[in-house]
Structure 1
Amino acid sequence: MLRDSKAGAAQVQRPTAPVPTQAIRFTTPVVETPGIFILTGWLWRFLRMLVLLPLQFPVSVGAVAASVAAYALTGWLGLAVLWSVVDVGLLVWWRRWPHAFKAHVARRALATWRRFWIYRRHWQPVLVVSGLAESYLERQYLPQIRGVTCSAWADRVRVKLVAGTSPAEFENRVSELAHGFGAPSCRVEVRGPRDLVLEFPRRDTLADPIDALPVSDDPDLSALPVGRCEDGEPWRLRLHGTHVLTVGVTGAGKGSVLWSAIRAMLPALKAGTAEVWAIDPKRMELSFGRSLFARYADAAEDAVELLESAVAAMQQRAERYAGRRRVHVPSTRDPFVVVVLDEVAFLTAYHPDRDIRRRAENAIATLTSQGRSVGFCVLAALQDPRKEVINLRNLFPDKIALRLDEASQVDMVLGEGARDRGANAHLINPDLPGIAFVKLDGSPAPVRVRAAFVTDPHIDAMAGSYGRSPSDPRSDCTADER
């Protein structure tokens, strides 16, 4: 008995191998929805569609209703007469008032077609694949299309966001949206809470070069026409009261921006109410129109002296204005002075003489921080916008981003978030010089523009018609003091 009890105790104390346990499986309970609720939901959607359809598409619904009424009252003959009269009226409208016909008939019809065939048909797959669809309790929620309008060049899709999402999610997916709907690009415009507009261009309106624009007899120095925007409107560059920094790689079209601005100011240069002081380290871009400039310099020492002369003239004018006026009005006594500085990085970063770099940077900083109110503007151009090349770019209120090397440079030039809103300056086609992205007054969204191409014969004609002769006392093509 004792032996049996010890053996039993040994058996009890012997460790046992662990037994693997099966994974716990959780299943979602399936609740069958009564058929009456499903039918009620379908009926509600149908009734809502009948009520909203005349409000969303009044012309289409009215045309169908008139056709049905004509057929019910007069048969096929009456219906044919009705549509014949309508066709003749549309033909007369198209031939007599083509612009009104396009705005009220053709583009509305195009918007309706593209809303259903392009956007509504591909809306769910594009948004799901691009990660813009939201899920909650095993249900999928999509932003809703509130409307589609068509302009001469682009579609504007108004979207209502899902509650809890932000426009930044669309701004980070502009490339996916553009490719998903077969558009060259996509831009996002925020209209209000949960309300934004997606702009999809149908074609590139800036693909063809723009000839040099005609010279206005009375130029507005705060709105100089220098090219064309993507929507067909003139691109007007503000110089009076600001400073402009133009950034782009070699061959991007910086010269087109500079010469278009100079061309637009020609009557003011001739009248003496505006002056251009030019600095051209390359001796190639601005030297061709040298007689147009009140001051000109190409050597580094001369360029720095010109900048310091501009600072001295600015401070002298500011001393005269102190306590007397706050706004500069261009005149022959106090002309509007534009310091055109090509390849600014040569003076601020690349020149081997440290003293030259320091003096140039101090002069540019003083001009850009104090010159706007007294009628001095700096119009500068460079290739590399990094801080180690130029750390003064924040002193330029207006910036132009031509073709750039890297995606990160877009936000350096136009501000953080510009690339997310569609300013893909790093993707500009090298065969399209002069195309750029800018921010216009009153709009945070970048606008795609193209500068007019001012050729050498144009510059030669400008110098012949508006240039100063050597005997002109205002003419000074050296860096000497006037």
Structure 2
Amino acid sequence: MFKKMPGEESQRIVSTTPDTAVVFKPAVVTTPAFITLAVFVARLVAGLARTIWRHPVAVAVAVAPLALCWLYGWRAGLLLTVPPLTGLATWAVLDRTSFARLVGRRLLAWWRLVWIYRRLWQPVVIISGLGKHLQGRDYLPRLGKVTCTAWADLVTVRMLNGQTVKDWTDRADHLAHGFGAPSCRVSVLKAGRLLLTFPRHDPLADPLPALPIPDRTSVGPVEIGKQENGLPWRLKVHGTHILVAGATGAGKGSIIWSTIRGLLPAVQAGLVELWALDPKLMELSFGRDLFGPRYAATPEACADLLEQAVKVMQERAARFAGVQRSHTPTTQDPFILVIVDEVAFLTAYQADKHLRQRITAALATLTTQGRAVGIGVLAALQDPRKEVMNIRNLFPDKIALRLDESEQVDMVLGDGARDRGALADQISPDPAKGAGVGYVRLEASPDPIRVRAAYVSDDDIHAMVSAFARPRAFGIDGREAL
């Protein structure tokens, strides 16, 4: 016990010994061996029960031969096991798709759950900072179900209390490298639960040839390529506006010409009109005869054509007011798709300030008021910066092809798109591998979708012109008539 000193003398005491931390050693209680064994057996039984519940097919395939050998001997077990295995092998050879869907992917999911994710789960989440090791105990996010698709593993995870989605998106690279995948994408299933997508291979690695011209008339959605999950990529053009951003050689022309190709039957039927602005005089000039008089190449002609589209929009709005709120394509009021290649040349790099203001004002008017009356804008550009394209937020649907910088991904697709897996800055510059590959962010969904557009060659364009170009009419003054 310390002797209580009067007054403030205790405050003037100077210790000559260094301060040392007080160490408290908790009492050690020895656990009986039978309790440890009982806990171990209980955990083993619970793990086996979960495995059987989650993967009944995989467990049955693995256990059935052993059980037959145990009950009836190895000869009887072999006799009873070989025919089913032969049948499964025959099924896999004759109908690989159905076998993979019903059996093969379930077995693969079980194997990858056991050998990849469950085996590596603790070290990966601890080292990446998603798990905590406190006072000798590991606090880990709960690993859920693993589902294998044709190209990726879908892993469900229950986050720790207090974690956010950003904690996981910031460590997507750690997770990808930890589990041996090329990338990892994080999406939200519901509160507290995430879906991690680990691709096993790239289904979009090979170029896609031009898709056949549809045999039926449709205003959209237009099939222009393939999604990463193997489904067709259908681009909605009627009732929206689309911004396509990508570096030189990223494949913007593939999206533009695939869209035109899918709309040709509707153009021939008079339900769609294509208005083309081609300030570079390179991309759209190949199919100039498809656009007829609604093709512009010089800045002055582009401004005039955009203002003409605004007049059509205003005239339709005056007729539709109080009558209808949405547009249905007809031969009297067809859907008009205004295609602008390299829109930044007209809105930012145009030297004539007056022309630049006219073009920007017309595009802003069309993108804010044109959807309801059947006028859409499909614009392509290379530089997505705000000072280059200050009306990019007026485009509901956006497509990011290969970009030069990671910051540009969020400029095009919106904040947080790259964290959700839109790695447009990592697309290969090799045309054979990366041309036409991009990420789509639709108005209705914040999650980006990886896609690849079909490549429309020069021969395909010439064939389109030969089959669908209309005869060009000229007026008395020699100019092409509208």
TM-score by shorter chain over 0.5: yes
Where in structure 1 do 4 or more consecutive aligned residues deviate above 4 Å?
Answer: 15-18
The residue number in structure 1 matching 2:164 is: 166
Question: Is the 8 Å Cα contact of residues 263 and 272 (structure 2) preserved in structure 1?
Answer: yes
Against the structure 1 CA distance between its residues 273 and 64, is the aligned structure 2 distance closer, same or farther, given a 3 Å change threshold?
Answer: closer
The residue number in structure 1 matching 2:109 is: 111
Aligned-pair CA distance for 1:437: 0.5
- Secondary structure of 1:317's counterpart equals helix
Farther-moved stretch of structure 1 (215-224 vs 412-421): 215-224
The residue number in structure 1 matching 2:306 is: 307
The residue number in structure 2 matching 1:326 is: 325
Name the CA distance, whole Å, in 1 between partners of 2:204 and 2:354: 44
Name the CA distance, whole Å, in 2 between partners of 1:183 and 1:152: 15
Aligned-pair CA distance for 1:133: 1.1
Aligned-pair CA distance for 1:62: 3.2
Amino acid corresponding to residue 330 of structure 1 in structure 2: P
Aligned-pair CA distance for 1:163: 2.2
Against the structure 1 CA distance between its residues 472 and 156, is the aligned structure 2 distance closer, same or farther, given a 3 Å change threshold?
Answer: farther
The residue number in structure 2 matching 1:175 is: 173
- Is 2:33 the counterpart of 1:31? no
- Which is higher, the Rg of structure 1 or of structure 2? 1
- Is 2:211 the counterpart of 1:193? no
- Secondary structure of 1:265's counterpart equals helix
- Secondary structure of 2:347's counterpart equals helix
The residue number in structure 2 matching 1:340 is: 339
Q: For residues 261-340 of structure 1, what are the structure 2 equivalents within 5 Å?
A: 261-294=259-292, 295-340=294-339
CA distances 1:302-360 after superposition (whole Å, capped 9, x unpaired)? 11011000000110011111111122111111111000011111111111111111111
Name the CA distance, whole Å, in 2 between partners of 1:350 and 1:44: 71
Question: Is the 8 Å Cα contact of residues 243 and 379 (structure 1) preserved in structure 2?
Answer: yes
Name the CA distance, whole Å, in 2 between partners of 1:81 and 1:370: 74
Question: Is the 8 Å Cα contact of residues 398 and 442 (structure 2) preserved in structure 1?
Answer: no
Q: Residue 19 of structure 1: which of 16, 20, 44 is its match?
A: 16
Name the CA distance, whole Å, in 2 between partners of 1:86 and 1:305: 73
Question: Gaps spanning 5+ residues in structure 1: where?
Answer: 1-14
Aligned-pair CA distance for 1:472: 8.4
Amino acid corresponding to residue 142 of structure 2 in structure 1: Q
Name the CA distance, whole Å, in 1 between partners of 2:407 and 2:196: 23
The residue number in structure 2 matching 1:452 is: 454
Name the CA distance, whole Å, in 2 between partners of 1:100 and 1:183: 26
Farther-moved stretch of structure 1 (296-305 vs 464-473): 464-473
Name the CA distance, whole Å, in 1 between partners of 2:157 and 2:165: 10
The residue number in structure 1 matching 2:82 is: 84
TM-score (norm 1): 0.91
Against the structure 1 CA distance between its residues 30 and 291, is the aligned structure 2 distance closer, same or farther, given a 3 Å change threshold?
Answer: farther
Name the CA distance, whole Å, in 1 between partners of 2:400 and 2:25: 54
Amino acid corresponding to residue 51 of structure 2 in structure 1: L
Question: Is the 8 Å Cα contact of residues 291 and 477 (structure 1) preserved in structure 2?
Answer: no
Q: How high is the sequence identity, in percent, across the aligned residues?
A: 50
Question: Is the 8 Å Cα contact of residues 345 and 382 (structure 1) preserved in structure 2?
Answer: yes
Against the structure 1 CA distance between its residues 64 and 207, is the aligned structure 2 distance closer, same or farther, given a 3 Å change threshold?
Answer: closer
Question: Is the 8 Å Cα contact of residues 228 and 235 (structure 1) preserved in structure 2?
Answer: yes
TM-score (norm 2): 0.91
Question: Is the 8 Å Cα contact of residues 240 and 395 (structure 2) preserved in structure 1?
Answer: yes
Question: Is the 8 Å Cα contact of residues 244 and 399 (structure 1) preserved in structure 2?
Answer: yes
The residue number in structure 1 matching 2:360 is: 361
Question: Is the 8 Å Cα contact of residues 219 and 264 (structure 1) preserved in structure 2?
Answer: no
| Root-mean-square deviation over aligned CA pairs | 2.2
Name the CA distance, whole Å, in 2 between partners of 1:110 and 1:302: 59
Aligned-pair CA distance for 1:229: 0.7
The residue number in structure 1 matching 2:3 is: none
Farther-moved stretch of structure 1 (76-85 vs 233-242): 76-85
Aligned-pair CA distance for 1:96: 4.3
CA distances 1:102-160 after superposition (whole Å, capped 9, x unpaired)? 11111111111111222222222222222111244442211222121111111111112
Question: Is the 8 Å Cα contact of residues 297 and 477 (structure 1) preserved in structure 2?
Answer: no
- Secondary structure of 2:276's counterpart equals strand
The residue number in structure 1 matching 2:250 is: 252
Question: Is the 8 Å Cα contact of residues 156 and 199 (structure 1) preserved in structure 2?
Answer: yes
- Secondary structure of 2:425's counterpart equals helix
